[in-house]
Amino acid sequence: MDQVSSSTAALEGRTVAVIGYGSQGHAHALNLRDSGVDVVVGLRDGSASADKARAESLEVMPVHEAAKRGDVIAFLIHDTAQPAVYAADIEPALEPGNALLFAHGFNIHYGEIVPPEEVDVILVAPKSPGQMLRREFEAGRGVPALYGIHQDATGGARDLTLAYAAGLGSSRAGLLETTCGAETETDLFGEQAVLCGGFSELVKAGFETLVEAGYDPRLAYFECLHELKLIVDLAYAGGLAGMRAEVSDTAEYGDYVSGKRVVGPAARIAMGEILDDIQSGAFARRWIDESKNGGQEFQRVRACERLHQIEEVGAELRSHMAWLQPDSEA
C-alpha cells in the first residue's frame, strides 16, 4: 500500500456534496461529517433515503442544489443512472475549480460522462460495502481504498483525493493508487469471471452434476453452496495458503489434483475473451444499450435464474438455520 498523508486539511473550507445515500453514499457522508468535513446530501425528489439522512442530522436537498453548493461533488449513485443525472443536475452546476469524485470509474472510462476541463476528476473506491466502511470507521479503523487522479485542473487534485480518503478512514488501512481505467476493467473482470459470473456458474454446475447423478438436492446444496462461506472466510483471512492449511489433507489434495480439471485451458481462454470484451468496451456498450432499452433481457434472465432448483432448495434449508433469521439471537 502507498505511504500517504492521513490529513483532511485539503478539505478545510470546502463543502462535499454527496449525491446518493445508498450503501456507499451513507457511509461517505457520515464518515466525512464525523471527520469534520462540511457535508450536504443530494437526493432526487421523493427519495426514500431522505428521512434516513435527516435522522443522522445531515442536510438534505435536491441534487441540483447540492451540486451547486458543493465544492467537491461525490457522485455515488448507480452507474446506469449517472449519465442522465449528470447532464440534468450536475454539469450545469459545475464551476471552475470544483472536483467531481467517483467511487467507480465506469462512466469516466467509457466516456459516458465527460467533465469540463476546468474541474478536477478524481477516484476514491473503498474496497468494502458501505456498511463495513462505516462500521470500521466507528471502531477507529478503516478499510483499504483505491484512489486515482483522472484530471488535475487545479494542481491540487492529489491532495484533495488523499484528504477525502482520509476523511473516510481509509488511510488508516492503506491506499493503492490506480486509474479510472484500471479500476474499472479489473473490477468488471473480477465480477464477471470470478466473483459473480464464475462463482454462480461453478456452484450451479456442481449442484446440477450431483442432482443429475441421483444425489439428494439438499446434500448437493450443502456441499456446493452452503460450505462456500467456510472456504471463502478462510481465504479472506489467510489467502489460499491459509485456507489450505485449515482444511483437511484430503480436501487439500483434491484441490491440487482436480481444481485444474475444472478451471483448465478452456476456462482460461474464456477469461481472456471476457477481459478483451471489457478492455475494448464491448461489454460496456452492451450493458449501456441494455439499460437504455429498459433492461428487458436483464430482467428476463434474472427471473429465469430465480427459478433454478438451487434457489428453492436453498430457501427451504436456510429457513431452518436460526442464525440467518433477522430476529434470531443465535
φ, ψ of residue 56 in degrees (nearest 5): -95, 15
Catalytic residue among 104, 150, 226, 320: 104
| Same domain membership, residue 198 and residue 174 | no
pTM over 0.95: no
Look at residue 4 in the predicted model and tell me its pLDDT.
Answer: 72
Opening angle at CA 178, ends 292 and 107, nearest 5 = 10
| Same domain membership, residue 135 and residue 62 | yes
| Same domain membership, residue 259 and residue 142 | no
**Is 218 in contact with 317 (CB distance < 8 Å)?**
yes
Q: Domain of 150?
A: 9-178
Cα distance between residue 102 and residue 123, in whole Å: 5
Considering only CA atoms, which of 271, 69, 256 is closest in space to residue 185? 271
Residue 138: all three cell numbers together? 466507528
| Same domain membership, residue 219 and residue 121 | no
User: Where among 136, 152, 178 does a domain terminate?
Assistant: 178
Considering only CA atoms, which of 30, 28, 18 is closest in space to residue 57? 30
Look at residue 6 in the predicted model and tell me its pLDDT.
Answer: 77
Q: Which residues contact 85 (CB under 8 A, 6 or more apart)?
A: 19, 44, 63, 77
Instruction: Report CA torsion sign: 239, 278, 145, 55.
Output: negative
- Here the CATH number for the domain that contains residue 234 is 1.10.1040.10
Specify the number of domains making up the chain.
Answer: 2
Cα distance between residue 181 and residue 274, in whole Å: 16
Look at residue 328 in the predicted model and tell me its pLDDT.
Answer: 52
| Same domain membership, residue 161 and residue 197 | no
Q: What is the pLDDT of residues 55-110, one digit of tens each?
A: 999 999 999 999 999 999 999 999 999 999 999 999 999 999 999 999 999 999 99
Q: What is the pLDDT of residues 30-41, one digit of tens each?
A: 999 999 999 999
- Residues of the chain scoring pLDDT < 50: 329-330
Answer yes or no: 104 catalytic. yes
Look at residue 314 in the predicted model and tell me its pLDDT.
Answer: 97
Q: Which residues contact 302 (CB under 8 A, 6 or more apart)?
A: none
User: Where among 178, 207, 229 does a domain terminate?
Assistant: 178
